């Protein structure tokens, strides 16, 4: 500034306040929001957002992840809607994003999920609470890597559907969890991210472990016993697993990764 100009410049920075009316369309994110101390800001959730039960029970439901009631969401006057491109339809997310602030988080790897968890906490201004979770998650990831190191990599058929049989390729969050825990999908190289693969094809690909997930298809003990009795996966070990341990990318990972590792152990 030239001497004597007598001109002062004031820099005004507008900071948006943290969202206070949140609609979550992602079960794992709903759980994370509550873990970060922001449960009271939730004004809407899907019917699949059930964790933690005691905190979300009173939050209104607005339909499912694939068929949310868009008018009901907008009627809640949210200042943030949180979605996921895997779990929610693009047309619904686009409709909401054109009308209200919308955050879409779709991690493909465990480390991406950790980064997006930090981004969520930053957006909510709850990073001071989230740091404990993030540290625990970092320690869990490191521990699982060490535990899986040196073990023979397992050839896994991770079953997400039965009619028809479907699994995952390497470009999925599920596969990154499998890889972290010492496994590799028998369909890793398939073009489709969620390919149809019959049991006999899996056998020809050398499968040695079949994980029957609890979601989206709800495999149970009776179905496991049926599959084992039929011998459709040959000599492969067949186990049930909690799908959340392989699919949920929020704070659930802090415990879920350890259970995922146990599911792959011989």
Q: How far is CA 173 from the centre of its chain?
A: 8
Q: How far is CA 215 from CA 26, 99, 142, 207, 247, in A?
A: 14, 31, 26, 21, 9
Tell me the CB-side half-sphere exposure of residue 179, using CA atoms within 13 A.
15
Q: Torsion over CA of 151, 153, 154 and 156, rounded to 10 degrees?
A: 140
Angle between helices 127-148 and 173-180 (to 10 degrees): 60
| Same domain flag for 101 and 28 | yes
Average pLDDT, the chain: 93
| Same domain flag for 186 and 254 | yes
Residue range(s) defining the domain that contains residue 83: 22-106
| Same domain flag for 100 and 157 | no
What is the pLDDT, as a whole number, of residue 151?
Answer: 79
Lowest-pLDDT range of 2-6, 203-207, 262-266: 2-6
Q: What does 27-38 look like in DSSP terms, one character per residue?
A: HHHHHHHHHTT-
pTM of the model: 0.90
pLDDT category of residue 55 using cuts at 50, 70 and 90: very high
The CATH number that applies at residue 149 is 3.40.50.1980
| Same domain flag for 80 and 170 | no
What is the pLDDT, as a whole number, of residue 167?
Answer: 98
Select from 235, 163, 234, 167 the least CA-distant residue to 197: 167
Domain count, the chain: 2
């Amino acid at each position: 500034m030239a001497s004597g100009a007598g001109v002062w410049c004031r820099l005004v920075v507008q900071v948006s306040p943290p969202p206070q009316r949140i609609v979550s369309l992602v079960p794992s994110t709903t759980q994370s929001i509550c873990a970060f101390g922001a449960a009271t800001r939730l004004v809407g959730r899907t019917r699949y957002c059930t964790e933690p039960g005691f905190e979300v029970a009173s939050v209104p439901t607005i339909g499912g992840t694939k068929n949310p009631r868009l008018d009901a969401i907008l009627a809640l006057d949210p200042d943030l809607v949180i979605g996921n491109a895997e779990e929610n339809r693009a047309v619904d997310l686009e409709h909401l994003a054109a009308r209200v602030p919308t955050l879409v988080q779709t991690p493909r790897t465990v480390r991406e999920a950790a980064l997006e968890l930090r981004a969520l906490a930053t957006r909510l201004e709850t990073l001071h609470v989230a740091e404990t979770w993030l540290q625990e998650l970092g320690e869990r990831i490191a521990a699982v890597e060490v535990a899986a190191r040196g073990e023979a990599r397992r050839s896994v058929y991770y079953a997400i559907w039965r009619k028809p049989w479907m699994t995952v390729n390497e470009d999925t969050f599920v596969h990154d969890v499998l890889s972290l825990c010492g496994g590799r999908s028998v369909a890793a190289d398939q073009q489709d991210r969620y390919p149809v693969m019959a049991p006999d094809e899996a056998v020809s690909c050398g499968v040695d472990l079949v994980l029957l997930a609890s979601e989206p298809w709800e495999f149970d003990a009776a179905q496991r016993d049926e599959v084992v009795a039929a011998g459709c996966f040959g000599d492969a070990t067949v186990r049930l697993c909690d799908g959340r341990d392989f699919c949920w990318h929020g704070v659930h990972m802090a415990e879920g990764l350890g259970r995922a590792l146990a599911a792959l152990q011989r």
